[in-house]
Amino acid sequence: MKNTNKDMLIHSIMDKTELSKKDVGAVLECMIDEVTAELSKGNKVTLTGFGTFKVSNRAAREGINPQTKAKIMIPAMTVPKFTAGKTLKEAVK
Protein backbone atom coordinates (compact mmCIF):
# COMPACT_ATOMS: atom_id res chain seq x y z
CA MET A 1 0.00 0.00 0.00
CA LYS A 2 1.40 3.39 -1.01
CA ASN A 3 0.86 6.54 1.02
CA THR A 4 0.14 9.66 -1.07
CA ASN A 5 1.10 12.96 0.49
CA LYS A 6 0.19 16.53 -0.45
CA ASP A 7 3.20 17.00 -2.75
CA MET A 8 2.44 13.79 -4.66
CA LEU A 9 -1.17 14.89 -5.04
CA ILE A 10 -0.05 18.27 -6.41
CA HIS A 11 2.21 16.57 -8.99
CA SER A 12 -0.57 14.21 -10.05
CA ILE A 13 -2.98 17.13 -10.58
CA MET A 14 -0.25 19.03 -12.46
CA ASP A 15 0.16 16.13 -14.89
CA LYS A 16 -3.57 15.92 -15.57
CA THR A 17 -4.30 19.64 -15.89
CA GLU A 18 -1.06 21.13 -17.22
CA LEU A 19 -1.25 23.84 -14.52
CA SER A 20 1.89 24.97 -12.73
CA LYS A 21 2.92 23.52 -9.38
CA LYS A 22 2.44 26.95 -7.81
CA ASP A 23 -1.15 27.26 -9.12
CA VAL A 24 -2.18 23.74 -8.11
CA GLY A 25 -0.59 24.20 -4.67
CA ALA A 26 -2.45 27.50 -4.20
CA VAL A 27 -5.80 25.96 -5.17
CA LEU A 28 -5.27 22.96 -2.87
CA GLU A 29 -4.23 25.22 0.03
CA CYS A 30 -7.28 27.43 -0.57
CA MET A 31 -9.60 24.40 -0.56
CA ILE A 32 -8.12 23.13 2.71
CA ASP A 33 -8.42 26.61 4.26
CA GLU A 34 -12.05 26.97 3.16
CA VAL A 35 -13.09 23.52 4.42
CA THR A 36 -11.33 24.26 7.74
CA ALA A 37 -13.02 27.67 8.03
CA GLU A 38 -16.49 26.24 7.37
CA LEU A 39 -16.00 23.40 9.85
CA SER A 40 -14.75 25.82 12.51
CA LYS A 41 -18.06 27.72 12.09
CA GLY A 42 -19.93 24.44 12.64
CA ASN A 43 -21.00 24.16 9.00
CA LYS A 44 -21.05 21.05 6.83
CA VAL A 45 -19.11 20.83 3.53
CA THR A 46 -20.48 18.45 0.89
CA LEU A 47 -18.56 17.52 -2.26
CA THR A 48 -21.12 15.58 -4.26
CA GLY A 49 -19.85 12.13 -5.19
CA PHE A 50 -16.79 12.46 -2.94
CA GLY A 51 -18.14 12.92 0.55
CA THR A 52 -19.14 15.20 3.40
CA PHE A 53 -17.00 16.90 6.01
CA LYS A 54 -18.87 17.78 9.19
CA VAL A 55 -18.38 18.53 12.86
CA SER A 56 -19.29 15.95 15.48
CA ASN A 57 -19.59 16.37 19.24
CA ARG A 58 -17.95 13.74 21.41
CA ALA A 59 -19.25 13.33 24.94
CA ALA A 60 -16.92 13.24 27.94
CA ARG A 61 -15.94 9.72 28.91
CA GLU A 62 -13.74 7.74 31.22
CA GLY A 63 -10.56 6.23 29.79
CA ILE A 64 -7.59 4.24 31.04
CA ASN A 65 -3.94 5.29 30.84
CA PRO A 66 -2.32 2.23 29.18
CA GLN A 67 1.00 2.75 30.99
CA THR A 68 -0.27 3.17 34.55
CA LYS A 69 -3.75 1.60 34.19
CA ALA A 70 -5.07 4.64 36.06
CA LYS A 71 -8.55 5.87 35.17
CA ILE A 72 -8.66 9.30 33.55
CA MET A 73 -11.46 11.60 32.40
CA ILE A 74 -11.41 12.42 28.70
CA PRO A 75 -13.18 15.78 28.22
CA ALA A 76 -16.00 16.41 25.75
CA MET A 77 -14.75 17.79 22.45
CA THR A 78 -15.75 18.78 18.95
CA VAL A 79 -14.03 16.80 16.19
CA PRO A 80 -14.09 16.85 12.38
CA LYS A 81 -15.66 13.86 10.66
CA PHE A 82 -15.65 12.68 7.03
CA THR A 83 -18.33 10.49 5.47
CA ALA A 84 -17.52 9.03 2.05
CA GLY A 85 -20.02 9.60 -0.76
CA LYS A 86 -21.56 6.87 -2.90
CA THR A 87 -19.19 7.38 -5.86
CA LEU A 88 -16.10 7.20 -3.65
CA LYS A 89 -17.39 4.11 -1.84
CA GLU A 90 -18.02 2.33 -5.15
CA ALA A 91 -14.59 3.30 -6.53
CA VAL A 92 -12.85 1.82 -3.48
CA LYS A 93 -14.74 -1.52 -3.52
pLDDT reading at 15 higher than 90? yes
Q: Cβ–Cβ contacts within 10 Å for residue 24, how many? A: 19
Residue 6 has φ and ψ, to the nearest 5°, of: -60, -40
Nearest-CA neighbor of 84 among 39, 52, 44?
52
Give the residue ranges of DSSP H helices in 1-93.
Answer: 6-17, 21-40, 86-92
Among 56, 55, 38, 53, smallest CA distance to 85 is for 53
Could you read off the pLDDT of 30-69 as tens digits, one per residue?
999 999 999 999 999 999 999 999 999 999 999 999 999 9
Percent of the chain whose pLDDT exceeds 70: 100
